[in-house]
Amino acid sequence: MASYSPTSRRIHPESLKVDAAAHPGWSTGAEHTPAVGDQVFCTEGMGEVVRVLGRTQNGSRLLELRLADGRREAFFAAASNVLIAPASPAAL
């Protein structure tokens, strides 16, 4: 039987969830599906939606995101775990 020891390299589940309270006024991707080009906040920071794909297990859309700072290649996230920037007043 394998034994697993505690390690500092372990990923904690709470680090994989976006904190909506940290960005008041932003909606979640579960409330409003983002479109290509929308600015979003994910666990890695600010990013842009590159593609909107099929549905995830929880019913939200699968998004391909590119980070604004360009520090990694595009990656995938569930829309339910991103926050969408509020519309600018000029767009209203």
In order, the DSSP letters of 23-91 are: STTPEETTTS---TT-EEEETTEEEEEEEEEEE-TTSSEEEEEEETT--S--EEEEGGG-EEPPPPGGG
Inform me whether the pLDDT recorded for 2 exceeds 60: no
Inform me whether the pLDDT recorded for 13 exceeds 80: no
Q: 79 versus 7: which is more confidently predicted?
A: 79
pLDDT value, residue 11:
65
34-84 pLDDT per residue, tens: 999 999 999 888 999 999 999 999 889 999 999 988 877 899 999 999 999
